[in-house]
A and B are shown apart, each in its own frame.
Chain A
Amino acid sequence: MPAANSRPAIRNRQHIAITGLTTLTALLFGLPVLLGLIGIILPASGYFPALGQTGFSNDAARHFLATPGLGLASWLSLKTGLLASAVSLGGCFVILMAFSGSRMMVWLRRLLGPLVAIPHSTIAVGLVFLLAPSGWLMRLVSPALTGLDQPPTWGLVPDPYGFALILGLVAKELPFLLLLSLSASASMPLSRLLAIGAGLGYGRFASWVFLVLPLIYRQIRLPIIAVLVFSLSVVDMALLLAPSLPPPLAILVLNGFHDADLAARLPASFGAIWQIGLVLAALLLWWIGERLVGAAVRFCRWRGWRGQSADPWLGFLSLFAIVPMLIGVMGLVAALLWSFAKGWFFPAALPASASWLHWQDVTSYLPLVINSGLLAISAAFLALGVVFLWLYHGQDLIRRNRLLQAAIYLPLLVPQISFLFGLQIGLSWAGIDGRWPALIYIHMIFILPYIWLVMAPAFAQMDWRHDHVANSLGLGPFRRFLRVHLPLLRMPIGAALFIGFAVSIALYLPTVFVGGGRIATITVEAVSLAANGSRGPAGVAAMLQLLIPLVCYGVIWLFLKYRFGRFANMQGGGLT
């Protein structure tokens, strides 16, 4: 029969198309990272023709392994990375449990955007200024309470154990995970799940732990891993907050890449591979932790623990969880004050005089702000476009194919310092480094995973009955997409775009390496100023940087309200 013959043919054609899509996607996301890794592996094995090194040897490895303090540096990275990720996740969950559905959450939610978009170094500067012996907290109580007119010689920041770095990382990563969790839980029947829990006699804490958190965790698992990888290899924040005797591994490696002796790039390349090894070790430990926590939760559930006694502790814990966010906010307030300060010396609680001095250069920063904005907008919309293509044409494929998933997340899972130097060589070879398309592309692959993460579950839960109605009214697929799907998906689209903007704006190392210094962004400027202790100008840069996400947030919010306001009733399956 002809029909029986044509069906395998169609399936075959589909199969080819799907394989093509798979390969293309893998290439799109894997290529820059693979290129970067090759550019690291070759020098690490002694091949670097530009320096006249063409023979393969293990010299680079030997040199790197002989680095003084390597063991301690690796241990410091492992410790701070794992602790920072665990505390960020724990804090994020505690805040969700304690404040979900309350007014407090509305307030916290407003803080998230700015905190996610601000670069790590700005938070670090704020933290140092807050907690240093000559810092703001000390100034507020001196000399009135302490009797000190010069700062004490002991200090909390930076501390020899890495706690300051952990605190700084948590101040950045907790809001990030919270933002993602909120987006993820938006498409979950939260109140119904919690009502079921309560109906079965479980306390609020236990209902969350047994019913909701596992769902959220499953959805944000990869970003959590990304946070872990980032925390293990963070550079800009570590420069200001981490102990430096020895510094964390990533800084040790970066010092090699920045050594005036060019031959130091070879051992540093091996160090970049060592860093990947460290990440793998951390992932293994995290995986073991996941099993242990999972087993503990299952054990409690099996014992029939209702957890009512745990609820009062929730409020107490949530106080601690909010501290890192408060520190982030106070850092921003300090940056604002510094941008207007002229002469602010210990023990004055406020600047001696306000001045526009630092704001006089503001026009020279405007092109940088425009660059940042253009970059964020084009990368985010491009990523959204790609995600829509996948959602309509390959969603199941990506869901099922773990390799493909890994390819999407690869740029987030390989430490940045381990592939950016190699990527720089690759892009330079192709002659496209320092050009807009290359930079937008790299920004896109860094933000696409997050956009996918927000859009995919929302798309899966879209109420298709609206689509069927529109179809029977005679609307074609494209008009249905425009007139029905987009309005239905407006909330996740808004959230996804906003997360995309925020991540793009905060992206530092990739912008430096790929932009080649030819495309400068306000973030690159802010990091450079912050690393060099110029608090006033760094404050101005931080304020300008905040401007972009705030404007984007405003525009998205107004657009959603006025363009799609009339669809408000369609929220949450409005037809039923």
Chain B
Amino acid sequence: MQKNRIYDAVRCIFAGLCLALAATSANAGDFTDLQKAAKGQTVYFNAWGGDAKINSYISWAGKTLSDRHDITLVHVKLTDTASAVSRILAEKTAGRNHGGSIDLLWVNGENFAAMKRAGLLQDRPWVTSLPNWRYTDSKALPAILSDFAEPTNGKESPWGRAQLVFSYDSARLQTPPKSAAALADYIAANPGRFAFPQPPDFIGMSFLKQVLIELSNGDPALYRPVDDANFDAVTAPLWRWLDKAKPNLWRAGNAYPANYPVLRQLLGDGEIDIAIAFNPADASAAISRGELPNSVRTYIHDSGTLANVHFLAIPFNASAPEAAKLVANFMLSPEAQVKKADTAIWGDPTVLSMPKLTDSQRMAFTKLPRGIATLSDADLGRTLAEPHPSWVPRLETAWIKRYASGE
């Protein structure tokens, strides 16, 4: 009896071990197959190309991939990610289900949700089977599984993290305003010295969401699908804030910069006092390229700022899905993530979990110089979650109607 039970237990353990072993080897086998299939393929990687440092990081990745895996990585530099989504849609319209022109796409939030709805992504989940997925920890960073509250379902692989930070020139401004309310006072006292990118620009919309979350004290309604009945009530504090700020914005609110690099340029030109970026290291990198003065520093609001994760997705009709997965896997490797986190290269925070790395891998991260204007991890600790994605188009339309229609 007793013996039997032990025997059963041993059998169970053995079977379990076998299964686990089989699963790993199957995974490893799959991946070897993948590598074989990917050999010689060309990956057309469609990624926003407006930042020279990101572009040179991608070309470094391309060089490494070509040396190691015989994969050619072509960076298709987009001015707008939605134009690539448009292209995939055009291909679906034309019935081209194979041999599409895009293999890998840098994406998050709204565009991902739209692609998911229209069935423009790979049918089967692929992300968790990537070997380097083991370095991530979805318990510590749940955002790698849910993109703006939209479950990723294993159809986009996390690439980097982003957090809204403000930058200012400490030579001109001693104590920056660290809340939406303080910012309102600052704008009133310093007419013409603050601007944000014009919605529907991504950073512009993020700024509106930031202000709304702060003023409504994180109204729980913002984390549920938008509701016509309470839209006006929930957003009222935001419009009051903007109405008050508008006459004292840059160019009296009669013009807005097109995007955040232009906004950063305005800070460098001394036309504004405070700029916004979605990358904590952006200002440091700009200083090292001579685009911002040495005296620029960054800060976040006391209540925290919006944070999210950006991803790599493979379209349903990719020509080289195998090589694209290999690229996504490489981008998730500690080696590529360390390089990306380096302020001198790009300065994009990693999505990997430090406890899951080996000591030497961890050391590589901790040894990175932070950059003169970059906040410490502790200072960046306070984050706000992205509202439900359905709020974005509604806020966008409402903002345009109020401030950009000339009516």
> Footprint of B on A, CB under 8 Å?
48-51, 68-69, 72, 132-134, 150-151, 153-155, 158, 160, 239-240, 243-247, 255, 257-262, 265, 341-346, 352-353, 355, 357-358, 361, 364, 421, 424-426, 428-429, 431, 433-434, 512, 516-518, 520, 524-525, 527-529, 531-537
- Taking CB atoms, residues of chain B closer than 8 Å to A240 are 258
Min CB–CB distance A354 → chain B (angstroms): 11
Q: Are B255 and A151 in contact (CB under 8 A)?
A: no
A selection of 26 A-B contacts at a CB cut-off of 8 Å is A50-B93, A68-B397, A153-B271, A244-B258, A245-B256, A257-B86, A260-B85, A260-B109, A260-B111, A260-B113, A262-B114, A345-B293, A346-B269, A353-B290, A361-B52, A421-B86, A424-B86, A428-B90, A428-B91, A517-B101, A518-B101, A528-B79, A531-B79, A531-B259, A535-B291, A536-B291
- Taking CB atoms, residues of chain B closer than 8 Å to A344 are 290
- Taking CB atoms, residues of chain A closer than 8 Å to B154 are none
Q: Are A434 and B52 in contact (CB under 8 A)?
A: no
Q: Are A533 and B101 in contact (CB under 8 A)?
A: no
User: For residue B273, which residue of chain A has the nearest CB?
Assistant: A150
- Taking CB atoms, residues of chain A closer than 8 Å to B101 are 428, 433-434, 516-518
Q: Are B172 and A342 in contact (CB under 8 A)?
A: no
- Is B39 in contact with chain A by the CB < 8 A criterion? no
Q: Are A355 and B94 in contact (CB under 8 A)?
A: no
Checking B118, B258, B400, B407 against A50 with a beta-carbon cut-off of 8 angstroms, the contacting residue is: B118
Q: Bound complex: CA of A357 vs CA of B344, how far in Å?
A: 13
Min CB–CB distance B354 → chain A (angstroms): 32
- The residue among A50, A512, A518, A529 with the most chain B CB atoms within 10 A of its own CB is A50
**A342 in contact with B290 given A425-B93, A517-B44 (CB within 8 Å):** yes
- Is B254 in contact with chain A by the CB < 8 A criterion? yes
Q: Bound complex: CA of A341 vs CA of B392, how far in Å?
A: 39
Q: Bound complex: CA of A240 vs CA of B255, how far in Å?
A: 11
Chain B 256-286 interface residues, beta-carbon cutoff 8 Å to A = 256, 258-259, 261-262, 264-266, 268-271
Given A49-B93, A153-B271, A532-B51; 18 other pairs, CB 8 A cutoff: A68-B397, A68-B404, A153-B251, A154-B192, A245-B405, A247-B404, A257-B86, A258-B80, A258-B82, A260-B82, A260-B110, A260-B114, A260-B392, A261-B114, A345-B269, A346-B271, A421-B90, A517-B101
Q: Bound complex: CA of A228 vs CA of B264, how far in Å?
A: 34
- Taking CB atoms, residues of chain B closer than 8 Å to A537 are 52
Q: Are A431 and B291 in contact (CB under 8 A)?
A: no
**A258 in contact with B83 given A150-B270, A424-B90, A531-B50 (CB within 8 Å):** yes
- Taking CB atoms, residues of chain A closer than 8 Å to B83 are 257-258, 512
Q: Bound complex: CA of A512 vs CA of B46, how far in Å?
A: 13
User: For residue B82, which residue of chain A has the nearest CB?
Assistant: A258
Checking A246, A342, A431 against B289 with a beta-carbon cut-off of 8 angstroms, the contacting residue is: A342
- Taking CB atoms, residues of chain A closer than 8 Å to B404 are 68-69, 244-247
Min CB–CB distance B213 → chain A (angstroms): 20
User: For residue A244, which residue of chain B has the nearest CB?
Assistant: B198
Q: Are A262 and B89 in contact (CB under 8 A)?
A: yes
Min CB–CB distance B66 → chain A (angstroms): 14
- Is B78 in contact with chain A by the CB < 8 A criterion? yes
- The residue among A68, A341, A533 with the most chain B CB atoms within 10 A of its own CB is A533
Q: Bound complex: CA of A404 vs CA of B255, how far in Å?
A: 45
- Is B87 in contact with chain A by the CB < 8 A criterion? yes
Chain B 75-116 interface residues, beta-carbon cutoff 8 Å to A = 76-80, 82-87, 89-96, 99, 101-102, 109-111, 113-114
Q: Are B290 and A255 in contact (CB under 8 A)?
A: no
Q: Bound complex: CA of A243 vs CA of B256, how far in Å?
A: 9
Checking A341, A358, A361, A529 against B50 with a beta-carbon cut-off of 8 angstroms, the contacting residue is: A529
User: For residue B76, which residue of chain A has the nearest CB?
Assistant: A517
- Taking CB atoms, residues of chain A closer than 8 Å to B407 are 68-69, 72
Q: Bound complex: CA of A244 vs CA of B110, how far in Å?
A: 23
- Taking CB atoms, residues of chain A closer than 8 Å to B265 are 533, 535
Min CB–CB distance A439 → chain B (angstroms): 13
- Taking CB atoms, residues of chain A closer than 8 Å to B95 are 429
> Footprint of A on B, CB under 8 Å?
44, 46, 49-52, 55-56, 59, 74, 76-80, 82-87, 89-96, 99, 101-102, 109-111, 113-114, 117-118, 172, 191-193, 198, 200, 250-251, 254-256, 258-259, 261-262, 264-266, 268-271, 289-291, 293, 392-393, 397, 400-401, 403-407
Checking A245, A357, A429, A528 against B94 with a beta-carbon cut-off of 8 angstroms, the contacting residue is: A429
Min CB–CB distance A358 → chain B (angstroms): 8
Min CB–CB distance A428 → chain B (angstroms): 4
Q: Bound complex: CA of A512 vs CA of B114, how far in Å?
A: 22
- Taking CB atoms, residues of chain A closer than 8 Å to B94 are 425-426, 428-429
- Taking CB atoms, residues of chain B closer than 8 Å to A516 are 87, 101
Q: Bound complex: CA of A128 vs CA of B302, how far in Å?
A: 36
Q: Bound complex: CA of A258 vs CA of B80, how far in Å?
A: 7
User: For residue B100, which residue of chain A has the nearest CB?
Assistant: A428
Q: Bound complex: CA of A524 vs CA of B79, how far in Å?
A: 10
User: For residue B115, which residue of chain A has the nearest CB?
Assistant: A262
Min CB–CB distance B315 → chain A (angstroms): 13
Q: Are A345 and B268 in contact (CB under 8 A)?
A: yes
Q: Are A364 and B118 in contact (CB under 8 A)?
A: no
Q: Bound complex: CA of A247 vs CA of B200, how far in Å?
A: 12
Min CB–CB distance A512 → chain B (angstroms): 8
Q: Bound complex: CA of A512 vs CA of B101, how far in Å?
A: 13
Closest 4 CB pairs of A and B: A532-B50, A153-B192, A69-B405, A68-B405
User: For residue B266, which residue of chain A has the nearest CB?
Assistant: A134
Min CB–CB distance B139 → chain A (angstroms): 29
Checking A72, A155, A265, A535 against B89 with a beta-carbon cut-off of 8 angstroms, the contacting residue is: A265
- The residue among A260, A344, A517 with the most chain B CB atoms within 10 A of its own CB is A260
- Taking CB atoms, residues of chain A closer than 8 Å to B403 are 245
Checking B84, B114, B268 against A517 with a beta-carbon cut-off of 8 angstroms, the contacting residue is: B84
Q: Bound complex: CA of A247 vs CA of B255, how far in Å?
A: 10
Q: Are A517 and B111 in contact (CB under 8 A)?
A: no
Min CB–CB distance B331 → chain A (angstroms): 19
Checking B56, B59, B96, B406 against A431 with a beta-carbon cut-off of 8 angstroms, the contacting residue is: B96
- Taking CB atoms, residues of chain A closer than 8 Å to B401 are 68
Q: Are B50 and A517 in contact (CB under 8 A)?
A: no
Q: Are A343 and B262 in contact (CB under 8 A)?
A: no
**A518 in contact with B76 given A265-B89, A533-B261 (CB within 8 Å):** yes
Q: Are A524 and B77 in contact (CB under 8 A)?
A: yes
- Taking CB atoms, residues of chain B closer than 8 Å to A262 are 85, 89, 114, 117-118
User: For residue B398, which residue of chain A has the nearest CB?
Assistant: A68
Q: Bound complex: CA of A353 vs CA of B289, how far in Å?
A: 12
- Taking CB atoms, residues of chain B closer than 8 Å to A133 are 271
- Taking CB atoms, residues of chain B closer than 8 Å to A243 are 254-255
Q: Are A151 and B82 in contact (CB under 8 A)?
A: no
Min CB–CB distance B75 → chain A (angstroms): 9
Min CB–CB distance A417 → chain B (angstroms): 12
**A151 in contact with B270 given A516-B101, A534-B50 (CB within 8 Å):** yes
User: For residue B256, which residue of chain A has the nearest CB?
Assistant: A244
Min CB–CB distance A24 → chain B (angstroms): 25
Checking B59, B254, B262, B266 against A364 with a beta-carbon cut-off of 8 angstroms, the contacting residue is: B59
User: For residue A525, which residue of chain B has the nearest CB?
Assistant: B77
Q: Bound complex: CA of A151 vs CA of B267, how far in Å?
A: 11
Min CB–CB distance A162 → chain B (angstroms): 12
Checking B86, B251, B392 against A258 with a beta-carbon cut-off of 8 angstroms, the contacting residue is: B86
Q: Are A532 and B256 in contact (CB under 8 A)?
A: no
Q: Bound complex: CA of A49 vs CA of B102, how far in Å?
A: 21
